[in-house]
Amino acid sequence: MTRDSSGTPAAFATALRAREQLVGYWSVLDSPVSTERIARLGYDYVALDAQHGLIEYSGLLASLTAIDTKGSTAVGLVRTEANDPAPIGRALDAGAAGVIVPLIDTAQDAADAVAAVRYPPLGRRSYGPMRSGLRIGPNPADAHEQTVVLAMIETADGLANVAGICATEGLDGVYIGPSDLRIAIGGATSTDPAVDDRFEAALVTVREAAAAAGIAAGIHNADGASAARRLAEGFTFATVASDLTHLEQIAGRHLSDARPAR
């Protein structure tokens, strides 16, 4: 299933909450010009990684502005550095259409993330939409409708408590961090094939918990083919990662084409 994207936060939030299939891209580079080009390709969202990525606040602000360029089909999401009101609020004030909050272990963690995104009386976000007010809201009720909050499931506790997390009022979706989750269930590395069966079972657990709660279920992927497979399995949104990795892969491929191994 595909959809036409208007590239607006309101349309994105509506589609995500309706569990429509969405495809996004992951950015770790502080390179607004390349992010701008990616945003015009047809992706539904571009997620900026403020946790493990190479993006400081000024780069985050510039990249969110770039995502809103003429011709963009995407909205900007931010994976925040922590489940904390300060970085969450800064990302939203800079114009993010939503946040992906890492290391959610319990339903209380999820409730705290939701509270950081919503203004009183629904939450505790401080009012100061420096840039976001030009595109999202700016009235609190409108901002609530147009801004999404996604909880990362990537730990053993998060997996064990996923049903309660998904049932958290105001949470729009869950997002699997496959590298951390694979390690959390016993993998020696982030790609350890020895835990494939347990990992796939964990994905089903998360996907079914989200479906039962009526919220979106997303997952991070290394490439488009993997994203297509996960969407076919029942995930409602999938991210392709990432600009730094793909730059290296494409550069290496061109080198091999130009100078084949002797």
pLDDT of residue 7: 84
Q: How far is CA 169 from CA 111, 178, 252, in A?
A: 7, 25, 46
Rg from Cα positions in the chain: 18
Which pLDDT score, from 0 to 100, does residue 5 have?
47
Q: What is the pLDDT of residue 6?
A: 63
Is residue 247 left, alpha or beta, with left meaning phi > 0 and alpha meaning psi from -120 to 50? alpha
Q: What is the DSSP letter of 67?
A: H
For every one of its 262 residues, what pLDDT tens digit does the chain have, with 9 covering 90 and above?
344 446 899 999 999 999 999 999 999 999 999 999 999 999 999 999 999 999 999 999 999 999 999 999 999 999 999 999 999 999 999 999 999 999 999 999 999 999 999 999 999 999 999 999 999 999 999 999 999 999 999 999 999 999 999 999 999 999 999 999 999 999 999 999 999 999 999 999 999 999 999 999 999 999 999 999 999 999 999 999 899 999 999 999 999 999 987 6
Catalytic residue ranges: 52
The C-alpha atoms of residue 52 and residue 6 are separated, in whole angstroms, by 29
For residue 260, what pLDDT is reported? 81
Cis preceding linkage at 193, omega within 30: no
Q: pTM for the complete prediction? A: 0.95
Q: Which residues pair with 174 in a beta bridge?
A: 151, 217
Q: What is the pLDDT of residue 128?
A: 96
